[in-house]
Structure 1
Amino acid sequence: MTQKELADKTGIRPATIYALYHETIKRIEIEQIAKLCEVFDCQPGDILSYEVEKGQKKETT
């Protein structure tokens, strides 16, 4: 599936799909995650991961 096809199926802007593909996206809406999971028949954890950026400290309370 091309990025354009994915954008068409999900209603997510092509620029957002591009940023996801190239791992340059800074934020994503929950609704967009839901649309991607619907198209790919998966769970959010299958397509997303969280990584602390280098030089960024974990906050503790």
Structure 2
Amino acid sequence: MAVVTIKKDFKEIKRKLIEKNVNTIMIIGCGKCAKNSKTGGLEEVKEMKKMLTEEGFKVGNN
């Protein structure tokens, strides 16, 4: 059984966060399927954190 993940457009993510009045967010990635699909492994989580931070969102790191 294969798992496929699809990367969401950053503009859509940002729009939803603003719409929901979210200021702080936690980003969670996966070291298996999402990493292999390049949609949510460590590198993609780092990039998302950078983009969100640049847009003024606070990113938690627990």
Q: TM-score, normalised by structure 1?
A: 0.35
Whichever structure has more helix as a proportion of its residues is 1
Whichever structure has more strand as a proportion of its residues is 2
Which protein has the larger Cα radius of gyration, Structure 1 or Structure 2? Answer: 1
Larger RCO of the pair (alpha carbons < 8 Å, separation 6+) = 2
